[in-house]
Structure 1
Amino acid sequence: MATLSDVAARVGVSKATVSRALSRPDLVAPATVARVREAADELNFAVNRAASGLVTGRTGVIAIVVPDLDNHFFTPIVVGAQRRAATRQRQLTIAANPLQTHEDVRDLERLARQVDGLILAAPLGPDDHVRQICRTRPVVLVDREVAGVRSVSADAANGFGNLARHLLDGGHRTLVYLGGPAGSWQDAQRTRAIAERTTGRAELVVLGPMPPTFAAGAAAADDVLAAGASAVIPYASQIGLGLVFALRARGVLPDDLVVTTESVISTAIGDTRTPTIDVDGSELGTAAMDLLIEELDAAGETPVRTMRLPMQVTLPLD
């Protein structure tokens, strides 16, 4: 098995330089870092994280925490974070924890003590629970904002607001918004944005709260029909799919009822008439990892940064 000395001899530098190039590449010339990594790959050298941690107090491991493993929204976020971690010589571990109960907080505190930092997706956890975890390790929130905590989120206010405006410009005068889970920060952003766009222009019927599931959308079919809407904006595409399935199963889906969706769905079925709205989950995960590593690698305190990434709204072809 290759050692640090083997890599150093291959590159022609000291063991200390190799160690810095692999653990703190920002402190080493980029050309040297590239040579060290190339040599490490050729020799199949793997950093001993446990040994490094005894010296530096760092494990080289970052945890990404999602509320559950059933919601596919979080999958590309994990993928983006994992890819970025690999380029920065970090390992990523994944945990499921909704951070809603005091037991959840205790469990996450135990995990936090075993890693360098956390990327935390906690859409329903109380703000105080988030802040308590932040006192344990550096944290970056994903798709939510809490005052005083670093975060990366999708700019739902602009995205959903623009979607609603397009529907209104197209002549829709009664809109239904199928809301997300109770207490969700993103649901509040989306509800507010749609309400601001419809005020004085159209009637808005808000149904929910509801979980972001196919079953919840199907269960809302009767209420959507009763509202007499010509357009529906679901909190999540799974809700919209459930609604469309339930209406079509009854044979009552009107031709003029628009249910917005994600572009991957409209593309799969060849639908060019339905407005779509997308969150780039991979970009969220990548940005969150960059923000966390920036904090971990900083020599001193860094300012708390709040990033909002744009949502992609695609309008129908004329």
Structure 2
Amino acid sequence: MIRLEDVARAAGVSKSTASRALSRPDLVAAGTRERVQRLATEMGLSLNPAARALFTGRTGTIAMVVPSLTNPYFGPILAGAQRELSTAGGHSLISSAVDGDQEIELAGGLLGHADGVLLVAPRAPEDGLRELASRIPLAVIDRPVRGLPAFLADTPRGVGRLTEHLLGLGHRRIGYVGGPHGSSLDRLRVAAATRRVRTVGGRLDVVGSESPDLDTGLRLAARWPFADEVTAVVAYSSYIALGLLIGLREQGVDVPGRMSVAAVDHLAAVGGDDGSDPLLTALRVPLEELGRAAAAALAAVPHAPPGVTRIGTDLVPGRSTGPPH
């Protein structure tokens, strides 16, 4: 079996230099780095996670913590991150945290077991996240945190475009079904929609939801929380929107004649087999791309610098929205 010492000997460098060339290539001269990496590949050097950590100080593993493993919004993010890691032979550890305290506890407990932690939609206080980042490399998704690398799907701007679409159809009083308490991006979405509505003298009515799922939409449709003047509703998730569509039609409400319905994501969008003629007006959110970008930045050496990377969304009009009657 080829060992790191064998590669170092063949390259004419010390074991420590060979280790740095593989784990911290930015610290090694280009010629030496390329020679060591080429010989490692040619000789078939393969380090398991324990050996990699011993020789290079890196495990090749990134931990990912999400608020829920059942929320379909997070699945494509995790899948994208895992695909990005696998291209370099890396791995992921995936866990869920019930609140911000558990996020910090889980991430802190991974010191020495993972090269970094990717927190998706974290709820922990910013000070706690920055303190955690002083102990282990950290990146966040779906929440801007000063001093940390953050990756966002620009849904607030997308919600602004979605609101303009509804205003252009003639709606002036719009309802918004928000997400779980503590969602920082949802507050930005509400603010973006409110600004757009006020430009034409309209109004945005907001109600919260405990869970972004189909049952929430069905429950709201059965016990309608909005005033009669509301002629369009934007939902935090496409699953809520799908529940609204089903529930409103069960109540005999014409969609979109009496009520237009739209969503902030496309995960439950329904259309033709080729994606044409979509039923639900929604934002197409590049969740897998978001996960890949964040994982690549966290796995890079050196790690990504602080700052916000925003990835745009696309508005896809569907049959669930139309002019108010």
Q: How does 1:160-171 map to 2 (within 5 A)?
A: 160-171=159-170
Q: Relative to structure 1, is the Cα distance of residues 52 and 254 closer, same or farther in structure 2, using a 3 angstrom cutoff?
A: closer
Q: Per the alignment, in what secondary structure is the counterpart of residue 62 of structure 2?
A: strand
**Per-residue deviation, residues 124-162 of structure 1 (Å, max 9, x unmatched):** 333233233223201000011122221001112211101
Q: 1:288 aligns with which of 294, 298, 310?
A: 294
Partner of residue 210, structure 2: 210
Matched, 1:142 2:141: yes
Q: Relative to structure 1, is the Cα distance of residues 131 and 21 closer, same or farther in structure 2, using a 3 angstrom cutoff?
A: closer
Partner of residue 310, structure 1: 312
| Counterpart Cα distance in 2 of 1:169 and 1:3 | 66
Tell me if structure 1 keeps the 8 A contact 2:121–2:183. no
Q: How does 1:1-318 map to 2 (within 5 A)?
A: 2-4=1-3, 23-24=23-24, 39=42, 46-101=46-101, 103-201=102-200, 202-221=202-221, 222-224=223-225, 226-256=227-257, 257-261=259-263, 262-263=265-266, 265-268=269-272, 271-272=277-278, 274-294=280-300, 296-297=301-302, 303-316=305-318
* Alignment-mate amino acid for residue 133 of structure 2: C
Identity percentage of aligned residues: 33
Measured after TM superposition, the shift of residue 107 of structure 1 is 3.4
Measured after TM superposition, the shift of residue 6 of structure 1 is 11
Residue-pair matches, total: 307
| Counterpart Cα distance in 2 of 1:50 and 1:234 | 46
Measured after TM superposition, the shift of residue 78 of structure 1 is 1.0
Question: 187-196 vs 169-178, which deviates more?
Answer: 169-178
User: In angstroms, what is the RMSD of aligned CA positions?
Assistant: 3.2
Measured after TM superposition, the shift of residue 37 of structure 1 is 7.7
Tell me if structure 2 keeps the 8 A contact 1:112–1:118. no
Q: Relative to structure 1, is the Cα distance of residues 106 and 233 closer, same or farther in structure 2, using a 3 angstrom cutoff?
A: same
Measured after TM superposition, the shift of residue 249 of structure 1 is 2.5
Q: Per the alignment, in what secondary structure is the counterpart of residue 310 of structure 2?
A: strand
| Counterpart Cα distance in 1 of 2:36 and 2:307 | 28
Tell me if structure 1 keeps the 8 A contact 2:175–2:234. yes
Measured after TM superposition, the shift of residue 119 of structure 1 is 0.7
| Counterpart Cα distance in 1 of 2:82 and 2:147 | 25
Q: Relative to structure 1, is the Cα distance of residues 273 and 106 closer, same or farther in structure 2, using a 3 angstrom cutoff?
A: closer
Q: Relative to structure 1, is the Cα distance of residues 198 and 71 closer, same or farther in structure 2, using a 3 angstrom cutoff?
A: same
Q: Relative to structure 1, is the Cα distance of residues 68 and 7 closer, same or farther in structure 2, using a 3 angstrom cutoff?
A: farther
Q: Structure 1 unaligned runs (5+)?
A: none
TM-score normalised over the length of structure 2: 0.81
Question: 163-172 vs 30-39, which deviates more?
Answer: 30-39
Q: Per the alignment, in what secondary structure is the counterpart of residue 297 of structure 1?
A: coil
Q: Structure 2 unaligned runs (5+)?
A: none
| Counterpart Cα distance in 2 of 1:115 and 1:254 | 49
TM-score normalised over the length of structure 1: 0.82
**Per-residue deviation, residues 34-57 of structure 1 (Å, max 9, x unmatched):** 8668657xx6x6312212322333
Tell me if structure 1 keeps the 8 A contact 2:23–2:58. no
Tell me if structure 1 keeps the 8 A contact 2:20–2:56. no
